[in-house]
Each structure stands twice: as structure tokens, then as C-alpha cells.
């Protein structure tokens, strides 16, 4: 049969788009808090106040006159990332992985001159990459040194961990691995591999590409079941504390792992997708319902919430 029975889906607790929009995003995410999440610079600022680790902020360029001074931020770094604060879908992100005697190199080895870097920043300020073309600011961040635990699991891109945090409870997690098909991007609908991650251990449960189960990474051939996210405790703690920090009830947190600095928050998403259910091979609704059943005055600390989730949402 081409279609699954809706009753079967319901019995498995799978959440659909309509329910996500009206039952969770509409109900738990106050509209006025969206700018905190949609603007990466604002996210960074509140994260710093809440002691949530984020990639190092090297500098911010908000007016054209400052563009000329970019060199002071990037001259002595091992690598850096320039991104638009209000960019969407990974647009306008310039990644420099090697800085050598005033020359800058992209991950694929192409050289980028300082003038080209400046033009890129000008484009960002003009709003070329932001939604609706509104004026934007450029954020310069330190380069993330990927943890070697992910060697072979990702192809030309940033592997990140998406944790759905519902009212402060980390209810479901997945790892997104870029592939050749996804062109180095970590979006599942573009062909990235999604790996469901056990909330208690950080170990892989299940993996899918294009919504179909896969066992091995399509480019590197690495067995995906072996994936284990290191420093999982710290990662899930950071993700959970994003609730207090942002005020968003239904939140997607994108975490990355730095070799030296450990887990850090890359960005927040107020409208996290549904693919995480497919990656986990499980519906998210029973978990959301369980958290909802606790009510609002349980007064649980971040640690207690994580304990609760580990107890109830783990496979083992």
C-alpha cells in the first residue's frame, strides 16, 4: 500500500505537521521570543548570559565602515566562520579552515583573498542572505575543531546533534551527518543521514537517509550503528538549559562538538522538523504527552529533568 493507515501512525505516537504547528509550536512558543532564536547574534548573547557554551565570538560587523577592520578579528586565528545573523538554511556562511600568512583557505582548499572576504561581509550587511532582504550584521566566529569521534561519519560538513527540548526536557535527539548528496549540508530533506540518538547514552539507535533506513554511511561506508556521541552528559545538559535561556517551550537545539571545548550550542530552532521521528524510528508524541502530564509546577532542576528523560525515553 502506498499510504500508511492514519490509525497505525496515531497508535505509534507519530506527530504530524498540523499537530506540531497548532499543538506545540503555537501553544508553547511565544511569538515575541522568536527574534531571540532567529537572530544568531541574539542567541549568542543570551547563551553567554546563561553559561551555555557557543563557538567563540571573534567579532561583529554591523556597519559598512567596520568592514575594513575585519582583519584584526581574523588575522591570528587558526580558522574562522563568517555568517549572517539572520541567515536561513545555511546561506551566506563562509568557512575558512586555514589561515596562513594573511592568506585564507576554504575547506576544499580554494584560496579566498581578504578583498573577497570583505565583499562577502558587505553582501551580508546588505541583506543578501537574510530573509526578506532586510539589513543584517555579520558574525565572525572561531572555527569549530571537529571531534575525531565523528571521523568517517560525516562527508565534507559539520555533523551536528539536534535535540528537541520540550519544556526543558530533552525528549528526542538525532545526529545529522552530511553526505555528498546533501552537498555538505546537514538538512535531512537534502539527503543528509539522520541518526537517532539514545537520550540516556548518546549511542546510535537507528539511521535513515531520505526517510529510508540505512546501515552504512553512503559515502564513507562507516557502520552507523557504531556512532557514539562523546561527552553526551554535557551536551544534553547544555541543550536542556536552552529552555530557561530562550523561554521557548518547543525548541530544536543544534549542538556541535569541539575537540577541545566540548559540546557547544550552534543555533536554536523554533520550528524543528518532524524527521527526527523517522531517524529515531519512533513517534515523539508519547514523550511530549508524558512531559505535559507533569504539569507546570514540578520545580525540577535541569539535572532532574534529564534524569527523568533518561529513565523514560531510553531504549534500554
Q: Give the Cα separation of 136 and 125 in Å (integer).
A: 5
- Smaller CB distance to other proteins: residue 235 or 279? 279
Q: Shortest approach of other proteins to residue 301 CB, angstroms?
A: 31
Residue 12 is a binding residue for other proteins (CB under 8 A): yes
Q: Shortest approach of other proteins to residue 212 CB, angstroms?
A: 6
Residue 172 is a binding residue for other proteins (CB under 8 A): no
Contact segment (CB under 8 A) with other proteins among 4-12, 54-62, 66-74, 152-160 equals: 4-12
Instruction: Residue 293: count other Cβ atoms within 10 Å of its Cβ.
Output: 7
Distance of CA 196 to the CA centre of its chain: 14
Instruction: Report which of 178, 191, 164 is spatially closest to residue 284, judged by C-alpha positions.
Output: 164
Return the residues of window 226-285 that contact other proteins according to CB under 8 A.
274, 277-278, 281-283
Residue selected from 59, 107, 127, 152 as contacting other proteins according to rule CB under 8 A: 127
CA distances from 128 to 43, 83, 125 (A): 21, 12, 8
The three-state (H, E, C) secondary structure of 201-263, written as one string: CCEEEEEEECCEECCECCCCCCEHHHCECCCHHHHHHHHHHHHHHHCCCEEEEEEEEECCCEE
For other proteins (CB under 8 A), the number of binding residues is 35
- Smaller CB distance to other proteins: residue 190 or 201? 190
Residue selected from 23, 107, 230, 286 as contacting other proteins according to rule CB under 8 A: 23
Q: Give the Cα separation of 1 and 12 in Å (integer).
A: 18
Sequence-separated (6 or more) residues with CB below 8 Å from residue 304: none
Q: Shortest approach of other proteins to residue 22 CB, angstroms?
A: 6
Grid-cell match 541583506, residue found: 127
Residue 133 is a binding residue for other proteins (CB under 8 A): yes
- Smaller CB distance to other proteins: residue 125 or 265? 125
Return the residues of window 107-126 that contact other proteins according to CB under 8 A.
123, 126
Return the residues of window 25-84 that contact other proteins according to CB under 8 A.
none
- Smaller CB distance to other proteins: residue 208 or 236? 208
Q: Shortest approach of other proteins to residue 117 CB, angstroms?
A: 15
Q: Helices (H) and strands (E) in the chain — how many of each?
A: 11, 14
Q: Strand (E) positions, 44-192?
A: 57-61, 80-84, 94-96, 98-100, 103-105, 111-112, 138-142, 160-166, 169-177
Instruction: Report which of 145, 174, 298, 158 is spatially closest to residue 236, judged by C-alpha positions.
Output: 174
Residue 91 is a binding residue for other proteins (CB under 8 A): yes
Binding mask 194-223 for other proteins (x = CB under 8 A): --------------x--xxx----------
Q: Shortest approach of other proteins to residue 62 CB, angstroms?
A: 17
User: Footprint of other proteins on this chain (CB under 8 A)?
Assistant: 2-6, 8-10, 12, 14, 16-19, 22-23, 89, 91, 123, 126-128, 132-133, 190, 208, 211-213, 274, 277-278, 281-283
Amino acid at each position: 500500500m502506498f499510504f500508511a493507515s492514519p490509525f497505525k501512525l496515531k497508535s505509534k505516537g507519530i506527530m504530524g505537521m498540523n499537530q506540531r504547528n497548532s499543538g506545540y509550536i503555537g501553544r508553547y512558543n511565544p511569538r515575541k521570543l522568536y527574534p531571540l532564536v532567529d537572530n544568531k547574534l541574539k542567541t549568542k548573547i543570551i547563551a553567554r548570559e546563561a553559561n551555555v557554551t557557543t563557538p567563540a565570538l571573534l567579532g561583529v560587523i554591523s556597519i559598512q565602515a567596520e568592514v575594513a577592520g575585519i582583519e584584526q578579528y581574523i588575522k591570528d586565528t587558526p580558522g574562522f566562520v563568517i555568517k549572517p545573523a539572520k541567515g536561513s538554511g545555511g546561506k551566506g556562511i563562509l568557512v575558512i579552515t586555514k589561515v596562513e600568512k594573511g592568506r585564507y583557505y576554504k575547506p576544499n582548499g580554494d584560496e579566498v583573498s581578504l578583498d573577497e572576504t570583505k565583499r562577502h561581509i558587505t553582501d551580508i550587511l546588505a541583506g543578501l542572505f537574510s530573509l526578506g532582504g532586510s539589513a543584517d550584521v555579520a558574525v565572525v566566529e572561531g572555527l569549530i575543531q571537529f571531534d575525531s569521534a565523528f571521523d568517517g561519519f560525516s562527508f565534507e560538513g559539520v555533523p551536528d546533534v539536534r535535540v528537541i527540548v520540550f519544556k526543558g526536557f530533552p525528549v528526542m535527539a538525532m545526529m545529522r551527518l552530511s553526505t555528498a548528496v546533501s552537498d555538505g549540508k546537514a538538512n535531512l530533506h537534502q539527503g543528509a543521514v539522520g541518526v537517532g540518538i539514545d537520550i540516556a547514552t548518546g549511542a546510535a539507535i537507528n539511521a535513515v537517509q531520505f526517510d529510508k533506513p540505512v546501515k552504512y554511511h553512503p559515502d564513507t561506508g562507516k557502520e552507523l550503528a557504531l556512532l557514539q556521541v562523546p561527552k553526551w552528559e554535557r551536551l544534553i545538559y547544555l541543550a536542556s538549559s536552552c529552555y530557561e535561556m530562550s523561554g521557548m517551550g518547543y525548541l530544536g537545539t543544534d549542538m556541535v562538538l569541539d575537540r577541545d571545548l566540548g559540546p557547544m550550542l550552534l543555533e536554536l530552532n523554533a520550528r524543528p522538523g518532524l524527521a527526527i521521528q523517522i531517524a529515531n524510528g519512533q513517534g515523539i508524541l508519547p514523550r511530549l504527552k508524558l512531559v505535559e502530564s507533569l504539569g507546570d509546577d514540578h520545580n525540577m532542576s535541569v539535572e532532574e529533568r534529564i534524569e527523568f528523560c533518561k529513565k523514560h525515553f531510553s531504549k534500554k
